[in-house]
Amino acid sequence: MGEAPREPEAPQTPPIDPVRLEYALQLLRSEQNLVLGVVGGAVAAAVGAAGWAAVAAATGYQLGIVAVAIGLLVGWTVRALGKGVDRQFGVAGGILALGGCVLGNLLAVCAIVAAQEGLPLREVLDRLDAASAGRLLAASFRPGDLVFYAIAVYEGYRLSFRQLSREELAGLVGPL
């Protein structure tokens, strides 16, 4: 009886020097800017919220999928401007995405109310206080909104910082 053919062996990757990894990580951390990332993310959240209101005004519907777009926009902005590799950027992105979703939801409801009442949006917003904002959000809440909010927060978190493998990290610097 013949011997079964052998599978070719996978090439062995050389071990990664931990000093090289730490050096690459320190280089990336030296470029981080949490303040710029948060400011940019807050602007992105506000722009996304305004976009949600515009969609609601144009369609007459409060589309929850726009919340996911806000999460994506916030996450990409925090990552691009903050250049983060630490999880604090993700936490900031998730919180900002949630804030953008709540603001967008509120502005969308106000846009719909303004259209139904034949009022300028500015007039509806001028009459808004914390108590009436809470009532509007509560009255317009649907359990399905939580799904879109959760996806937005997840995407805001996940996209806000670079998650590099050991190999990618080691490849960022040449031999030491």
Q: Which residue has the tokens 């500015």?
A: 122
Q: What is the predicted pLDDT for the residue at 60?
A: 82
pLDDT digits (tens, 9 = 90+) for 56-77: 888 888 888 999 999 999 999 9
The answer to whether 16 and 172 have CB atoms below 8 angstroms apart is no
CA torsion sign for 31, 37, 38, 39 is: positive
The answer to whether residue 15 scores a pLDDT higher than 80 is no
pLDDT digits (tens, 9 = 90+) for 123-176: 999 999 999 999 999 998 889 889 999 999 999 999 999 988 777 777 776 655
Q: What is the predicted pLDDT for the residue at 173?
A: 67
Q: Which residue has the tokens 């808004």?
A: 128
DSSP assignment of 41-104 equals HHHHHHHHHHHHHHHHHHHSS--THHHHHHHHHHHHHHHHHH---SHHHHHHHHHHHHHHHHHH
